[in-house]
A and B are shown apart, each in its own frame.
Chain A
């Protein structure tokens, strides 16, 4: 009786955490798209990434959640906020300006994409999505992920590191080029 009660209470707790994290995830996603100030959008995206990390934890992907918080909410979003502060506030009214049929078409396109994803997943997977395989305690732990990275997925690991290196070099080159006064700019009539 007591283990059953404990299991039921655990399930209810998981559902509560799932509902809270999922709701904040969806709400902050909508907030990112609909804020007019990019600074507030970036802050809402940090909330989105944090609630996604909670969902990853519920899926027993501990290393994924830690990497999400460290890499995304830490490094990437700090870079985003820095660039937004550097560029300055550029307000934009999201749903005004431009032909309204463009916004309407975009909403329709995004909605049809959403419906298509849901229908394809529902048709292909059917009733197989309701139950999951049992996993052991090491599933998603850093040691397990590291072992997979260095044995089965070594090529992906190395290629990812090369891509990161190339992106860093590209960022430096983009920043360094803009520092020089560009000669073709004066011929276009933009006198300084």
Chain B
């Protein structure tokens, strides 16, 4: 086994054993904190797919996070008050709702990606930002669903055989989804498709000359990434039992990017570490001072200036990276 395998195994062990550890040390809130880690890790891993492997800097990825959450929130809203949606009574079944929400995000990703990929460079950053802002203002304007104040959700969705209201059960479900998603993403970036995506990042002109049509690869990656981010939004809505337009704000997109960079871009595993470190640091700093941004801001600058390959890059030698 290489050093990288050991580190990944250690990370996996921490995640799997965490509820037991939390119980033993008498800090049950750790389970909630780590659930947040897991949810943001799914979003960060998804973003890494296009950021690290496709060099597509999406500044509006929070839109998919919010969209996934709002699908859950809106269905729950209509199910609870009995009004139904388009003649459908609604449901609390995760097996129906979650795929529906993820598919919605994938579809949104397909449309937004198709339009955005007509541009590149700074224009791409700005047009993805613009789509994110459009969704943000749409949600703020939807007074039916709480507008600016957001929408509270009464109870978590249900899965047959599992009690998702239990913190540990929900934690393990998120762990399982993260593991599955990471496995899928590793398979994607290691496949012929992933190679083509990377070659387009490294030298677009040469790849095109070799016969790769950029749009097909980049759009697929964008759509998959949107779906994964949507899944994270679904999990967040079920965890926090609350969705608000802030989930789609541009600062949130910035945070997701910061997690990817902090952990190490283009490694799939790195962003998991990045998400944990980012949220962990936020947690520690907010407990310490109200003005935690005074520290967090410069930390971001330092990460960018000096953190060449992120935290994961510090742990894993370069030849095993990627």
Question: Are A and B subunits of one complex?
Answer: no
Interface residues of A (CB under 8 A from B): none
